[in-house]
Amino acid sequence: MKLAVISFSGNVGKSTIARHLLAPRLPGARVIAIESINADEGQAQSMRGFQFGDLQEYLQSVDDVVVDIGASNVEELMRLMHLYQGSHEEFDCFIVPTVPPPKQQQDTIATLVDLHAVGVTPERIQVVFNMVDDREPLERTFHSLLAFLKEQPIATAKLGCRLGANEVYARIRGTGSDLAQIALDDTDYKRLISRTADRGEKMALGQKLATRRLARGVVLQLDACFAALDLGRFVNADVISTTLPS
């Protein structure tokens, strides 16, 4: 499966969605970053937007990939997709993250409009509602975006495709850590904390315990969001889900 994570807006969680929602649940998938001025994590491989021809060639050589398109390159990438007629067909689905602030919602709408203009069909454009506050109804938080899609159904927006804000992403940023592995860690941190007299070590172990607790909650949320995306309908290959210990 070949997925593109794209938005005209920065700070909507594109890299989080590529690295923590999509790639871990697609067996063998690599994350390819199209370089962004906002990039803050090490990348396995990166390309600039103007190298779209190279990207298309690369896509012929792989079966499973998640392309994380930096906000600073989206405009150029859209222009090139217009030039390379049918190039959007290289991707099974375009994932468009959105967040509550009105400007980001307008940027999301602009992204959906441009994808529609190059010929991407609504079922292949999926919105992910990110950094959601569960205390507020999603319909109210994203009223402008949902109202637009009701009038112009050019993309798929399922209310189950949602992720809450969670500090665990900041905790592991730049470490290369895998949330699923952290969640499955069975280390008895409470016992280790009780056995050491060193205050610094207690603090470090306490941070690992807190991170694991956050990871276990967020992995369940990621699993639910991924299931709601129903990406398996685009291919015959099986997709995986993380199972936490009871």
Residue at token pair 């798929």: 156
The CATH T-level fold of domain 2-176+224-234 is Rossmann fold (3.40.50)
Amino acid at the residue 108: T
Other Cβ atoms within 10 Å of 211 Cβ, number = 20
According to the model, what pLDDT value does residue 75 have?
86
Do strands 2-5 and 65-69 pair parallel, antiparallel, or not at all (unpaired)? parallel
How far is the C-alpha of 1 from the C-alpha of 176, rounded, in Å?
23
For the record, the structure tokens of 107 come out as 């940027």
Sort residue 173 into left (φ over 0), alpha (ψ -120 to 50) or beta: beta
Angle among Cα 99, 101, 105 to the nearest 5 degrees reads 65
pLDDT in tens, the chain (246 residues): 999 999 999 889 999 999 999 999 998 899 998 864 344 444 444 555 557 778 888 899 999 999 999 888 888 888 888 888 899 999 999 999 999 999 999 999 999 999 999 999 999 999 999 999 989 999 999 999 999 999 999 999 999 999 999 999 999 988 888 999 999 999 999 999 999 999 999 999 999 999 999 999 999 999 999 999 999 887 654 444 444 544
CB-based contact 127:156 (threshold 8 Å): yes
According to the model, what pLDDT value does residue 35 have?
67
According to the model, what pLDDT value does residue 47 have?
53
Q: Give the torsion sign (CA, 116, 118, 121, 127).
A: negative
According to the model, what pLDDT value does residue 40 have?
46
CB-based contact 66:94 (threshold 8 Å): no
Q: Which long-range contacts (CB under 8 A, 24 or more apart) does 238-246 make?
A: 238/27, 239/1, 239/25, 239/26, 239/27, 240/25, 240/26, 240/27, 241/25, 242/24, 242/25, 242/180, 242/183, 242/184, 244/183, 244/184, 244/216, 244/219, 244/220, 245/184, 245/186
CB-based contact 237:231 (threshold 8 Å): no
Q: For the chain, how many residues are written?
A: 246
60 Cβ contact list (under 8 Å, min separation 6): none
According to the model, what pLDDT value does residue 71 have?
84
Do strands 125-132 and 93-98 pair parallel, antiparallel, or not at all (unpaired)? parallel
According to the model, what pLDDT value does residue 244 have?
53
Q: What is the largest CA-CA distance in the chain?
A: 66
Amino acid at the residue 123: E
User: Dihedrals φ, ψ of 115, to 5°?
Assistant: -65, -40
According to the model, what pLDDT value does residue 44 have?
44
